[in-house]
Amino acid sequence: MNSPKLIYSIYENRLQKLITKEDLPKHIGLIHDGHRRYARKEGLLSYEVSYKIGMERLKDCLLWCDEAGIGHVTSWLLSRENLARPNEELGPYFEVLNELFEELIIDDVVDNFKITFIGSTDLLPQKLQETIERLKEVRGGGQKSLTIALGYGGRQEILDAIKSLIDENRNNENDFDALLENVTDDQLRQHLYSPESPDIDLIIRTSGESRLSGFLLWQSAYSEVIFQDVYWPEFRKIDFLRCLREYTQRERRFGQ
């Protein structure tokens, strides 16, 4: 009788053969949902345990993306709205994030990635901000990019971009009509948090929730979205490969 591990390996290899590398997304967005529900389902002693499992899964997923040749990954680890949660809930999560970022400073899983952050990181605990700065300094190069969204809100990003664009043009033009002419797609894009990143081709959200919750609203206008039923700590390589297979089978219409 074949073991589950052997069957898993055979299925994984089959999935990889069905995926054409030329058709793969250049930029993947990850919404890591379901940590707390996973903890309740598994009867874990605390949410912190599921957070730690989820962070290990993130490192796994970065390795899968690297192996597949995905050049850009955006990982949404904390929304701006989440910052309003009670300290007793946020505290353990901040500790897990700090551990993750300290690991990424030395972990070879991100050797090929330049790591940047977007969102209101100034609202995070000082210890976490300091670790973020060290991580950005150490991981400031790489052929691929990993963008980590922390304290991020899609509406806030667009508001900040509009304000920044208007302020820039106001310094150059006193004429209101001339200022409005400079408010274009290309100009606004330059004032987004990550202007160098291409639009997102594929968004993967786990836990079965079928919504984007404000994730990169501007950059995801024409994204393909796949909602996975598994909780993020349970997300496996075959789940990832299924998402890639489904993406390559879709006909992208870009709003047409």
Cβ pair 242, 11 in contact under 8 A: no
Has 13 been annotated as catalytic? no
Has 33 been annotated as catalytic? yes
What pTM, to 2 d.p., does this model score?
Answer: 0.91
CA distance 33 to 45: 19
pLDDT at 199 over 80: yes
Residues 6+ apart with CB under 8 A from 2: none
- Largest Cα separation within the chain, whole Å, is 78
Cβ pair 182, 173 in contact under 8 A: yes
CATH of 24-153+203-249, one of 3.40.1180.10, 3.30.450.20, 3.20.20.370, 3.40.50.720: 3.40.1180.10
Among 2, 13, 23, 33, the active-site one is: 33
- Please state the rounded mean pLDDT for residues 56-76: 96
Q: Tell me: the pLDDT tens digits for 12-35?
A: 777 777 787 788 999 999 999 999
CA distance 205 to 74: 12
- Side-chain-side CA neighbours of 180 within 13 Å: the count stands at 3
The domain spans of the chain are: 24-153+203-249
Among 13, 60, 66, 82, the active-site one is: 82
Q: Tell me: the pLDDT tens digits for 38-51?
A: 999 999 989 999 99
